[in-house]
Amino acid sequence: MSLRNPIIKEMKQRVYEANLALPQYGLVKLTWGNVSEIDRALGVIVIKPSGVKYEQMAPEQMVVTDLAGNPLEEDGMKPSSDLSTHVILYQAFEKINAIVHTHSTHSVMWAQAGRDLPAYGTTHADAFYGTIPCTRQLTEEEVKSAYERNTGQVIVETFQERQLAPTEVPGVFVYGHGPFTWGETPAKAVENSLILDEICLMAKENEKINPAMQSIPQYLLDKHYYRKHGMHAYYGQK
């Protein structure tokens, strides 16, 4: 496979643009975030380089790896330190094509609190079908042995134990760490990250106004989620 493949060039451009969107949307400060995209047929992942400032990035600096996370460009930059987490999620969640990780303020609040995010309203239900989970805390051994890989594993474990579909709940909080979101494209994964941060802020303020807040009823959750998703979706233009 040639790394000059036009598909890889297009992936690098999409991943670059999606990474730039993170500070534009106020989802990252400094270099606290990354976006990746996978092409399973081609056998590659493209991800942000580690520690590079957003204003200094260029599309050609996006790092190309194989599906196990091994860099494929001899003179390429170091990939994001979160690459192993992305690899595990791509292996387990076969229907997702892009992943975003940020340290966005409101989402991190929920992650640090170790709390799931209930579906308090229809803004939540438009993108996430029900409660957004928070993982358990990683053990000391999990952190010391293979931290980023085990971060991915604890996300997968959470979805398996709760019998959640990653396509229906495209995001998670890692206890004490922060959010990961995903989607069909890098742009969609970033959109889910933005929505997640907004509904975290809404939920926090809701609980101040009404400490006895409860999730919206199932019929309202169903209406708002399925009018945008699935076979019978009717929101937007054809």
Of the candidates 39, 116, 126, 147, the residue annotated as catalytic is 126
235 is catalytic: yes
Residue with tokens 């922060």: 178
What are the Cα distances from residue 127, in Å, to 106, 135, 159, 160, 192? 17, 20, 17, 20, 7
Query: How many CB atoms within 10 Å of residue 136?
Result: 14
Q: CA 51, CA 59: separation in Å to the nearest integer?
A: 15
Give the residues across from 174 on adjacent strands: 178
The one-letter amino acid at 44: V
Residues 6+ apart with CB under 8 A from 143: 150
To 5 degrees, how large is the angle CA 146–CA 37–CA 20? 100
Q: CA 18, CA 33: separation in Å to the nearest integer?
A: 11
Catalytic residue numbers, as ranges: 126, 235
